[in-house]
Amino acid sequence: METPRSRPQSTRGADTRALTQVLFGQLKNLEVGTPEHHRVRGALIEANLPLVRYAAARFRSRNEPMEDVVQVGTIGLINAIDRFDPDRGVQFPTFAMPTVVGEIKRYFRDNVRTVHVPRRLHELWVQVNGATEDLTTAHGRSPTTAEIAERLRIGEDEVLACIEAGRSYHATSLEAAQEGDGLPGLLDRLGYEDPALAGVEHRDLVRHLLVQLPEREQRILMLRYYSNLTQSQISQELGVSQMHVSRLLARSFARLRSANRIEA
């Protein structure tokens, strides 16, 4: 007798996609908070847990209990379910994967430490980290210790202590470039990851973001980066000025960057 586990993976995946589509069709007609809405939402979570396990498997090298990583990824799955609009024509796994992976990365960045850090220093480190990101965005470069200290109105020695404490976090010590030696982060030096796997995620993310653009802007991006046409050739193809093509490309990039920040 054929069981779900004995069927080919591609068949099980197709069944999951079909079930997910049916469940979302039911969910959009139910009032939030009702028992029926809760039941259908729970069925969606259960049906798509393999997606979370697939994403969590990428983080096995972090030496964190896989059950904890899956639990964090499930939070991302739930957020994706609550935000997903089936009428936009995007497959749910494509939409959900960046959210699930982003939730797991935030978990490693904000919570997992190799050594104990005093509570006050941990809370101050969060502020230093946020100020560093804000100043980097504002100045287009990494801020100095003095600039961070001035922003937070604390001493430079406290900033340095927080930076040192931040090195106890897995996400920093493994992924960040090694200071002073110009070499890649430690994680990039260990093990092997099939580059095609990352390509799947990147292509899904690009596809998910592209469908949010107007049809004409989608076509211009396809002509520019998939057909390798110049802006001049695109303007002739569409019957518009090259300046207009340039403006549309710039607007598309701005929209894609904004949507990517929201997803992240």
pLDDT of residue 33: 83
pLDDT of residue 186: 45
Q: Which parts of the chain fold into alpha helices (H)?
A: 9-27, 35-47, 49-56, 66-83, 92-110, 119-139, 145-152, 156-166, 170-175, 186-189, 195-210, 215-225, 231-238, 242-263
- Examine domains 9-110 and 119-189 and report if their fold is the same: no
**The CATH number of the domain covering residues in 9-110:** 1.20.120.1810
- Residue 133 token pair: 């990101």
pLDDT of residue 49: 92
Helix (H) or strand (E) holding 230: none
Instruction: Report the Cα 98 to chain-centroid distance in Å.
Output: 4
pLDDT digits (tens, 9 = 90+) for 170-195: 444 444 444 444 554 444 544 444 55
pLDDT digits (tens, 9 = 90+) for 215-251: 888 888 888 877 888 888 888 888 888 898 888 888 8
- Region 181-210: mean pLDDT is 54
- Residue 241 token pair: 């000025």
Rg (the chain; Cα; Å): 23
pLDDT of residue 231: 87
Tell me the domain boundaries of the chain: 9-110, 119-189, 212-263
**The CATH number of the domain covering residues in 119-189:** 1.10.10.10
The pLDDT of residue 47 is above 80:
yes
- Residue 199 token pair: 């390509």
pLDDT of residue 74: 92
> Which residues have C-beta within 8 Å of that of residue 96, sequence separation ≥ 6?
48, 51, 76, 77, 80, 81, 84
Q: CATH number of 212-263: 1.10.10.10, 2.60.40.790, 3.40.50.300, 3.40.190.10?
A: 1.10.10.10
Look up the pTM and report it: 0.42
The pLDDT of residue 88 is above 70:
yes
pLDDT of residue 124: 78
* Rounded (10°) angle between helices 35-47 and 9-27: 160
